[in-house]
Chains A and B, each alone.
Chain A
């Protein structure tokens, strides 16, 4: 049996929705970051899938996906560093404690 594009997109959408849910509902900053990674992975999966099924001779989608993974790895490294800095400051990684920007 041949696995179609729809299956990849469906998996990507499930992953993205899981990530989105986590990013919006988790209280811990670490969990939120993990959810963000899930969303980024979903996007990367989409890129690869579209590349494979729409333009198989060009490898642009795969190249973008690798770029995105590198950027999100750097990003998550930076974000975790900020979380650690926040933890040092507030002794917590709970996002509800971080309300300084309240208007």
Chain B
């Protein structure tokens, strides 16, 4: 098992190798990350194979566990360590397969971009970080990788940084997720102060013995971090904007892997959430709200990528619902299936965008005839997303609703079903808009094999998991008898109803439907949805603008008040100096000078007596003598 560290290291090395190259050399060297991810994929499959027999039973004792210390702080040691267990091995497969498909797809998709080499470098770094994240054996390393992924996400969203929208979206994504990360970090502090370690084993093993308040605090703080990364309401606002990045990158980062890291984090720290209890309720509530809000917002989008982005938000909410009843399997299962079918949908959307030179669904149409293979794989992905038997999404959604009903959370189950209905509805809306109606553009052409092949692989997996759904479930640790026919029947019926409703609104009459009447009737709700439920506006008003105003205010304050005080002190000192100088000048020195001046003035007066005339002197002498005599006589 010594090859495990190579799985994340290879893409990391590919990144390091590309980094110092010139732009031209980098663009030619994209085979390097491709090769690295291919080898990682093979190694991941080997790792998965080593875990496969028995699967969940190996969860207690990791198959592989190695760590190296990077620092000693007091008594605590901080390690970088890797551990392999069923969940991480499944995640390895998901990440490497999707990354491989995306990278192969990008060869064709990004070929003409002058900075394709940089794109591959960042993609490699991202893959390495994500692989290291799922292999991490402690929370700190998880956090480190989590942040590095955030950077990669930032770089890829802002990849076309010539566009203002890309730059804005990139910074928004980084900052919004970092809001969550602060919660995560503080959660780490509480954890470390409580346990004295970041190790999964030490932390999770002792979680049950923590004071309930501590467990709730840590769980909620970790959840806050997860909400940022996994775009849960109310921290979801960055994900739709993140679609400004290249579509294949969106497929990998903003659909399949990075956004699922939050789910992974909650799944990993499930013992803490269970120790708290309250926190699980919060997870469930967050998941439900997000699943429904995300779905509703997807209904009114015209940009095909944004529909998929909101769909991702909604599906991530679904995963949180599964975790919210304490079922790691439900959450992780949906994470895995979602990763495949959503990245498939994104890649296919990329093909459509290239074909139509547009992202607006209103300007698409007729793709089913012009792009048959893309349409076919898109259909597979859509049906999986809608949760139609036997595609992969069916199994994982079913699992979530199953655990909800087993737990007695019927209200939540109803909510989840409602979200499922909306999902099916917007899937139908997208389908009938883009694929069936009259083409709104000309010169449509199918993608080349380089792009089709990865999509087909993903489609095959999506369909394939469908046929082996229970097997994967049991591998992850599913224990209840499956499928429950009632639950499966209800959820399938809801999904079909959603699709049918979508057809009713958008699919009849060849897709040429005027939805104005519906919009008019929904009025306020519709405009609220179009305005994205005012989340962005709220943040703009409550956080961004007050902060920028405060910052400028403080900058002025710094100069006009604090620096003014300093300068004022200097000026006051100057004034004191001047006053004391004057005092010195007038009083002290003035005294000295004054004596001199008095003598001078006296001399000036005395001069006039000094007429030079002897007789005057004599007169004076006479007067003096007379005065003297008078004096003597009077005195005498």
| Contact flag (A, B; Cβ within 8 A) | yes
Give residues in A with beta carbon < 8 Å to B: 20, 23-25, 32, 95-96, 98-103
B610 touches A24 (CB 8 A): no
A99 touches B615 (CB 8 A): no
A to B CB contacts below 8 Å, 22 in the list: A20-B622, A23-B615, A23-B618, A24-B618, A24-B619, A25-B615, A95-B613, A96-B613, A98-B612, A98-B613, A99-B611, A99-B612, A100-B612, A101-B610, A101-B612, A102-B610, A102-B611, A102-B612, A102-B613, A103-B606, A103-B609, A103-B610
Q: Residues of B contacting A95 with CB < 8 Å? A: 613-615
How far, in angstroms, from A41 to B541 measured CA to CA in the complex? Answer: 121
Q: Residues of A contacting B479 with CB < 8 Å? A: none
Q: Residues of B contacting A99 with CB < 8 Å? A: 611-613
Closest CB in chain B relative to A98 CB, distance in Å: 7
Q: Residues of A contacting B112 with CB < 8 Å? A: none
Indicate if B607 sits at the interface (CB-CB under 8 A): yes
How far, in angstroms, from A100 to B612 measured CA to CA in the complex? Answer: 6
Closest CB in chain B relative to A63 CB, distance in Å: 28
Closest CB in chain A relative to B527 CB, distance in Å: 106
Q: How large is the interface on B (under 10, 10 to 19, 20 to 34, 35 or more residues)?
A: 10 to 19
B611 touches A24 (CB 8 A): no
Q: Which residue of B lies closest to A100 (CB)?
A: B612
A-B contact count (CB 8 A): 31
How far, in angstroms, from A42 to B609 measured CA to CA in the complex? Answer: 30
Closest CB in chain B relative to A62 CB, distance in Å: 28
Q: Residues of B contacting A96 with CB < 8 Å? A: 613
Closest CB in chain B relative to A27 CB, distance in Å: 9
How far, in angstroms, from A95 to B612 measured CA to CA in the complex? Answer: 10
Q: Mark B579-617, 1 if CB is under 8 A from A, else 0.
A: 000000000000000000000000000110111111100
Closest CB in chain A relative to B339 CB, distance in Å: 115
Closest CB in chain A relative to B615 CB, distance in Å: 6
Closest 5 CB pairs of A and B: A103-B610, A102-B612, A99-B612, A101-B612, A103-B607
Closest CB in chain B relative to A16 CB, distance in Å: 12
Closest CB in chain B relative to A44 CB, distance in Å: 20
Closest CB in chain A relative to B631 CB, distance in Å: 20
Closest CB in chain B relative to A70 CB, distance in Å: 24
Closest CB in chain A relative to B466 CB, distance in Å: 129
Q: Residues of B contacting A25 with CB < 8 Å? A: 615
How far, in angstroms, from A44 to B542 measured CA to CA in the complex? Answer: 122
Q: Which residue of B lies closest to A26 (CB)?
A: B615
How far, in angstroms, from A103 to B622 measured CA to CA in the complex? Answer: 20
Closest CB in chain B relative to A86 CB, distance in Å: 12
How far, in angstroms, from A103 to B604 measured CA to CA in the complex? Answer: 9
How far, in angstroms, from A25 to B615 measured CA to CA in the complex? Answer: 7
Q: Which residue of A lies closest to B619 (CB)?
A: A24
How far, in angstroms, from A32 to B613 measured CA to CA in the complex? Answer: 13
Q: Residues of B contacting A20 with CB < 8 Å? A: 622
Closest CB in chain A relative to B626 CB, distance in Å: 11
Q: Which residue of A lies closest to B603 (CB)?
A: A103
